[in-house]
Structure 1
Amino acid sequence: MSFFIPTAMAQQAAPAPQGNPMVTLLLFAGLFAFMWLFIIRPQRKRQKEHQELVSALKKGDEVVMSSGMLGRVEKVDDDYILLEVADKMSLRFQKVAVHAVLPKGTIKNV
């Protein structure tokens, strides 16, 4: 059988490179800093701004919901708001679904 297949000689494994563990730690620290600055911090800022927007809602505010529906706030509860979306038509939404507060008179212009 060795006539067709030459005998294979195993090579010795190359020794693993001995790198500086401090470089690895610095890379992980840099990755964490990148994620903090460009992902985590802006998201927390947006969450805080939205929480302030939702907590400042009051009767008479004109708002746009995340679904795109426009309405005027009639009543504000702990977790829900009652929106007047048309004459004598009110709908109840969760406060967190509010996307933005519009300037007064915007609904009349639309």
Structure 2
Amino acid sequence: MQGGAIAQFIPLILIFAIMYFLLIRPQQKKLKQHQEMVKALRRGDQVVTQGGLIGKVAKVKDDNEIEVELSQGVTVRVVRSTIAQVINKTEPAQAKG
């Protein structure tokens, strides 16, 4: 009887394993990449927000907020996590010496 009970759970275990490798794991990987991208934002990067606005990072205010310049003289405060994509990364300034 014990063997029959275990045999009934094997398909459920296989379904969970397939769901993990096809859905959960790639989503966690994508989330980690997004967090790294957002953490690496700095002044001068051209970004796209989740609302579809394209602008340039004018100022990194704190851990959760940045200022994005949409056009000359028009800046908006944006929550970092709403940045969907970085179009152009600025290169770090080289140390003089």
- TM-score normalised by L of structure 1: 0.74
AA aligned opposite 1:67: G
Cα separation, 1, equivalents of 2:59 and 2:66:
6
Structure that is richer in strand per residue: 2
1:15-46 deviation digits (Å, cap 9, x = unpaired): xxxx8112122112101101101111011011
User: Aligned to 1:38, which of 15, 22, 45?
Assistant: 22
AA aligned opposite 1:102: I
**4+ residue runs of structure 1 moved beyond 4 angstroms?**
none
1:51-93 deviation digits (Å, cap 9, x = unpaired): 0000000011000111110000011121011000011110001
Task: Note the residue ranges of structure 1 that are not aligned, 5 or more in a row.
Answer: 1-18, 105-110
SS at match of 2:52: coil
SS at match of 2:75: strand
Bigger radius of gyration: 1
Cα deviation for residue 48 of structure 1 reads: 0.4
- Please give the root-mean-square deviation of Cα atoms over the aligned residues, in Å: 1.3
User: Aligned to 1:99, which of 70, 84, 94?
Assistant: 84
Q: Which residue of 1 aligns with 2:47?
A: 63
Task: Note the residue ranges of structure 2 that are not aligned, 5 or more in a row.
Answer: 90-97
SS at match of 2:32: helix
Listed as ranges, the matches of 1:1-110 within 5 Å are 20-76=4-60, 77-103=62-88
AA aligned opposite 2:46: E
Structure that is richer in helix per residue: 2
AA aligned opposite 1:27: P
**Higher RCO (Cα < 8 Å, 6 or more apart):** 2
Taking only the aligned residue pairs, the percentage that are identical comes to 37
